[in-house]
């Protein structure tokens, strides 16, 4: 039985620097990161298979809503995004430890976080679980070779805790009200009207199941490919409680350890806030904004292109 909490907490958005003029040219560091991204992808044995372990219904294209408010004519989807998810997956150790963290946050930015000893223990339990996976071991080995992370597992876990779970004050707040994990995986709200962060499919599915999410349709730009229900990256629009996420981008069906590993590698190894990587059939830009160089402000995938299978 998956325990789903009905409480949720904050969000935020970072206006990051624009891509450089020649950013479509893959630089050497991006090639190296593509190699490690492919290794992480190949090692993700807990990834769900589209059409078998989960099914989504893309329906229509969402209307433009950059105002933070919206009208019914922006809604391109009359039904939920997720039509089926095999919840047996959520019994796996990394998934269950991840899900236990989703009710630990106050969603509105500006509301300070109170972290209980139980929540700290849950954070550690999650990190202990993902560090044991082959996916995170690959990331750790790479970061040690680059002298970006300590070799010792305990010290590496401390580094992960600092990057993801240490609290900081998000824009417009004077008190610690946010963390990288909360922003990226749980989602936050600003002024209770705008959803910021919220780039995780498991949280999206569980919140939609509770009736807190209204999926509004997929989003595409002139440069992005048409979405596909069998691909693992999706840009979409949705409302959450009383707020709107005009455009969000998520991996779908991947494991928590894959996202933690990929985002941590990009955060620690690239000074650029946008990194282009190629793996499997995807050309992806990983957006990763640093906060005070010590914490993740936000991070998410942007699909640039599907490669045709050979």
Is 245 catalytic? The answer is yes
The residue annotated as part of the active site, out of 140, 216, 232, 245, is: 245
**Side-by-side strand order, sheet with 282-291:** 274-279, 282-291, 295-306
Beta bridge partners of 276: 285
The residue annotated as part of the active site, out of 10, 140, 199, 276, is: 199
Q: How many CA atoms lie within 13 A of 162 on its CB side?
A: 13
**Side-by-side strand order, sheet with 213-218:** 188-190, 194-196, 243-251, 233-240, 213-218
DSSP secondary-structure letter at 104? Answer: S
Report the C-alpha gap between 131 and 70 in whole angstroms: 42
Report the C-alpha gap between 148 and 27 in whole angstroms: 20
The residue annotated as part of the active site, out of 183, 232, 276, 289, is: 183
Report the C-alpha gap between 160 and 219 in whole angstroms: 32
Is 199 catalytic? The answer is yes
Say how many C-beta atoms besides its own lie within 10 A of residue 39's C-beta. 18
Residues with active-site annotation: 183, 199, 245
């Amino acid at each position: 039985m998956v325990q789903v909490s009905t409480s949720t907490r904050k969000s935020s958005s970072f206006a990051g620097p624009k891509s450089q003029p020649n950013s479509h040219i893959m630089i050497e560091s991006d090639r190296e990161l593509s190699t490690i991204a492919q290794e992480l992808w190949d090692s993700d044995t807990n990834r769900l298979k589209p059409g078998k372990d989960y099914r989504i219904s893309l329906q229509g294209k969402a209307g433009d809503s950059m105002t933070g408010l919206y009208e019914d004519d922006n809604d391109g989807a009359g039904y939920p995004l997720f039509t089926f998810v095999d919840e047996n997956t959520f019994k796996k150790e990394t998934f269950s430890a991840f899900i236990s963290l989703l009710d630990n946050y106050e969603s509105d930015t500006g509301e300070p976080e109170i972290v209980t000893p139980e929540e700290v223990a849950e954070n550690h339990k999650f990190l202990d679980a993902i560090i044991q996976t082959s996916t995170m071991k690959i990331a750790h080995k790479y970061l040690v070779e680059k002298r970006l992370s300590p070799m010792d597992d305990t010290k590496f876990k401390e580094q992960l805790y600092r990057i993801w779970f240490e609290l900081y004050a998000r824009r417009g707040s004077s008190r610690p009200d946010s963390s990288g994990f909360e922003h990226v995986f749980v989602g936050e709200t600003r002024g209770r009207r705008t959803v910021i962060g919220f780039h995780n499919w498991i949280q999206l599915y569980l919140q939609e199941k509770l009736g807190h999410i209204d999926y509004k349709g997929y989003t595409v730009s002139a440069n992005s490919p048409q979405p596909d229900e069998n691909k693992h990256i999706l840009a979409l629009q949705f409302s959450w409680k009383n707020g709107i996420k005009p455009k969000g981008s998520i991996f779908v069906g991947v494991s928590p350890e894959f996202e933690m590993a990929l985002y941590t590698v990009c955060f620690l190894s690239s000074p650029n806030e946008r990194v282009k990587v190629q793996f499997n059939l995807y050309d992806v830009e990983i957006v990763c904004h640093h906060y005070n160089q010590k914490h993740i402000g936000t991070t998410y995938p942007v699909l640039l292109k599907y490669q045709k299978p050979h």
